């Protein structure tokens, strides 16, 4: 995978994706929008050996500063909306991706940068990171899932406060509110994210994807309907090679060799 604005590195069954525009704090321009949409779409169609993804940013200052406002300066409304439609497809492709994605937030995450992290399955962040959905300060509003994903993470009242004030908050505050799973020292962020990614990758990939799907869609349903979805997802795993291998390995007291079949 060769991209103008992203670096990708396969480490066994973990794919490390780095937003790579450090000179502008990894701000999302049109090309990065194209690159991200292409990446998530490719992984959805064919993950290959990838069983988990880590998404991080280049440099030490920022994970992602949000949309590239220099590129947007002077855009016509039609051009702005066309660009944003591309961004929308990327956000949706990320949220719909069957493969788990860990956001390793290595620095500040503002606007669309925080929305990108929120589109991942969970977030590890450095202690020095500052985060904000700052769009109303610019005359717009969150448009990358922020008004939906943030309330689901921190609750309606907290999300309203954060979005309507546009104020930044710390990684520690985000962790206390349930937004961030783990606060890390900068030097250990990728190491800790990789340890978790490898733990996920060692499990049966079909099981991981079905479980992720059940959680993601089940939360959009009432409890009993969500449980029916869970059972449908569960039953698809019964007649798989990985399920048979998992039971055999348990009884033979060895590590299973899952193949995603």
* Active site members: 115, 135
Give the relative orientation of helices 77-96 and 112-119 as an angle to the nearest 10 degrees.
20
How far is it, in rounded angstroms, from Cα 185 to Cα 198? 20
Strand order in the sheet with 101-105: 6-11, 14-19, 52-57, 101-105, 122-126, 182-184
CA distances, 236 to each of 84, 149, 215, 227 (Å): 37, 28, 16, 14
How far is it, in rounded angstroms, from Cα 167 to Cα 190? 27
- Residue pointed to by tokens 């490898």: 198
How far is it, in rounded angstroms, from Cα 105 to Cα 54? 10
How far is it, in rounded angstroms, from Cα 210 to Cα 220? 16
CA contacts within 13 A on the Cβ side of 197 = 29
Q: How many CB atoms lie within 10 A of CB 159?
A: 22
**204 Cα distance to chain centroid:** 20
């Amino acid at each position: 995978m060769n991209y103008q604005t992203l670096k990708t590195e396969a480490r066994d069954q973990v794919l490390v994706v780095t937003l790579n525009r450090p000179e502008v704090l990894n701000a999302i321009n049109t090309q990065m929008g194209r690159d991200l949409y292409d990446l998530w779409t490719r992984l959805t169609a064919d993950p290959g050996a990838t069983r988990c993804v880590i998404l991080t940013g280049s440099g030490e200052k920022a994970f992602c500063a949000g949309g590239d406002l220099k590129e947007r300066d002077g855009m016509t409304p039609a051009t702005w909306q066309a660009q944003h439609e591309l961004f929308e497809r990327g956000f949706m492709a990320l949220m719909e991706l069957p493969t788990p994605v860990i956001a390793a937030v290595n620095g500040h995450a503002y606007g669309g940068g925080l929305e990108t992290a929120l589109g991942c399955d969970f977030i590890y962040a450095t202690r020095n990171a500052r985060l904000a959905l700052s769009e109303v300060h610019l005359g717009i509003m969150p448009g990358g899932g922020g008004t939906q994903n943030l309330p689901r993470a921190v609750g309606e009242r907290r999300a309203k406060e954060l979005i309507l004030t546009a104020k930044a908050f710390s990684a520690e505050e985000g962790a206390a509110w349930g937004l961030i799973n783990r606060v890390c020292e900068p030097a250990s962020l990728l190491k800790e994210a990789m340890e978790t990614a490898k733990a996920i990758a060692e499990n049966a990939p079909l099981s991981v994807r079905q479980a992720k799907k059940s959680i993601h869609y089940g939360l959009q349903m009432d409890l009993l309907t969500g449980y029916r979805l869970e059972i449908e997802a569960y039953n698809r795993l019964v007649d798989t090679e990985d399920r048979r291998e998992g039971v055999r390995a348990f009884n033979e007291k060895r590590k299973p060799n899952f193949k995603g079949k």
